Amino acid sequence: MSRSKSEKQRPHSRILFLCSGNYFRSRFSEELFNHWARRLEIPWQADSRGLIRNLDGLRNAGTISPHTIKALATRGISPLADKRWPQPVSREELLEADRVVALKEAEHRPMMQAHFPDLVERVEYWSVDDIDVASPNVGITQAEQLLLDLIRSLK
């Protein structure tokens, strides 16, 4: 069976991490996943997006959460996408990803249902708290454990 042109050009499988604003949890997940995938030579590449349709309305201070930067720094990781502003997810990105993970089921399943009802079941839902529910360290610890489990399953 021949591979399509886009499959031939794409050397890695793609995982897409989703959170509400693409500022804290999904950005940490993207950076940590890519760090370990490179280090362990796992042929996967992560990206992240937000489920809020108009991210311009959020009052984020900068391109990426300082909690994410601090958590990565304590792990010896320099973020590669820290200059990119948060971005909302598109239907095309959801369909093109090999795997899609939303970081908080209680929060993100309803958003998926509202914006992409036909794709709700395409998403794997985790339970990673945002800073309005728990301290940033709690969310980082939750995400890191799930990410390391995911990395182990891909090895």
- Tens digit of each residue's pLDDT (9 = 90 or more) over 41-67: 999 999 999 998 765 555 666 789 999
For residues 67, 69, 72 and 74, what is the CA-based torsion angle, rounded to 10 degrees? Answer: -80
Q: pLDDT by residue (tens digit) across 121-148?
A: 999 999 999 988 898 999 999 999 999 9
Domains and CATH numbers, the chain: 12-154 (3.40.50.2300)
Return the pLDDT at 58.
59
Return the pLDDT at 8.
46
For residue 6, pLDDT beyond 50: no
Q: pLDDT by residue (tens digit) across 82-122?
A: 888 999 999 999 999 999 999 999 999 999 999 999 999 99
Residue range 67-89: mean pLDDT, rounded: 92
Structure tokens at 87: 């971005």
Task: Give backbone dihedrals phi and psi of 102, rounded to 5 degrees, phi first.
Answer: -100, 135
27's enclosing H/E stretch is helix 25-40
Return the pLDDT at 60.
67
